[in-house]
Amino acid sequence: MARKRRTVAGPDDPRRLTDPRNIPTEYNNIEVTVDNLERLAEDILFDCCQETDTDPTEIPPSIWLYTLLEINEKLFRGNKSMLRTFPTGCDEYNAERVLKAYEVYKKLCVKHKQQITIKGFSDMTGISTQTIYNWDVDSKYNTVGYGSSSISPSIKSLDLAKTIRRDNEQSLEALLLDKSINPVKPLAILNRNHLWNMPGVTRETAPKRALSADKLPQLGGSEVCKINQNDAKSSEFLKTEKDAQKPLPELVEVHENKQ
């Protein structure tokens, strides 16, 4: 008996319409997509603040992390069509949807005075931090020979990790200038992660630039004369110090007479 050949459903195949991966999940009877993600995320954030009796304008780090995990569980987990492209030969992230989700995360952080981080975006969306780093143009996993099901042609030039790092510095600077927030914490993070000029720390940790050939000290001519003059002055100073330590002749004579 001949084995029946298995066919792959094409883009217009009716089977694609019934694929559960393409059916968005619902939250409060609303289909969850990147287009209404911001409003739904704000609703969950408000519920978390009410549950923990927290002021939405002063959310502590632990409650903020709890909020991100709640958004992930209720909007992203199990909702494969949110950020991925179907149908494809493999599960690929859709660059446009990922960027829309990041814009929502960025707005939430700025509005509620939180630091923008790769880990925070990962906690909210479920995209692993390593995958985000792999999307960088200069990542070795973004080149031929390091194929990955999470890297599609539309997302290879995303450079999302670099974008988040720049936004991280900007968000910390905003927190630093906010008069309602103690500036010590954001300043310390800026100094450690972005080499801001904090006296006593940045100057020692920042890489020092080597001097060029034209800026190196010249050890000939006038420089030698200056060194000789400095040596002469040093010798005169030491001789004066030595003479000052000798006892005066009058005192030596008085001391001998007493004996």
Of the pLDDT bands very low, low, confident and very high (cuts 50, 70, 90), residue 134 is confident
Number of neighbouring beta carbons within 10 Å of residue 39:
10
**Residue 102: which of 60, 43, 161 has the closest Cα?**
161
Question: How distant, in Å, are the alpha carbons of 27, 79, 104, 125, 254 from that of 69?
Answer: 15, 15, 15, 9, 92
Number of neighbouring beta carbons within 10 Å of residue 41:
25
**Residue 118: which of 145, 139, 98, 137 has the closest Cα?**
98
pLDDT at 16 over 80: no
- H/E stretch holding 65 reads helix 61-71
pLDDT of res. 170:
94
pLDDT at 21 over 70: no
pLDDT at 113 over 60: yes
Average pLDDT estimate for 188-203: 71
Say if residues 125 and 58 touch (Cβ distance below 8 Å): no
pLDDT of res. 195:
83
The beta-strand segments (E) located in the chain are 26-27, 30-31, 84-85, 92-93
pLDDT of res. 250:
55
> What is the average pLDDT value for the chain, to the nearest integer?
75
Question: How distant, in Å, are the alpha carbons of 25, 67, 167, 235 from that of 74?
Answer: 9, 11, 26, 81
Most confident among 136-140, 201-205, 249-253 (mean pLDDT): 136-140
Amino acid letter for position 232: A
The whole-model pTM stands at: 0.65
Say if residues 112 and 59 touch (Cβ distance below 8 Å): yes
R_g over Cα of the chain: 34
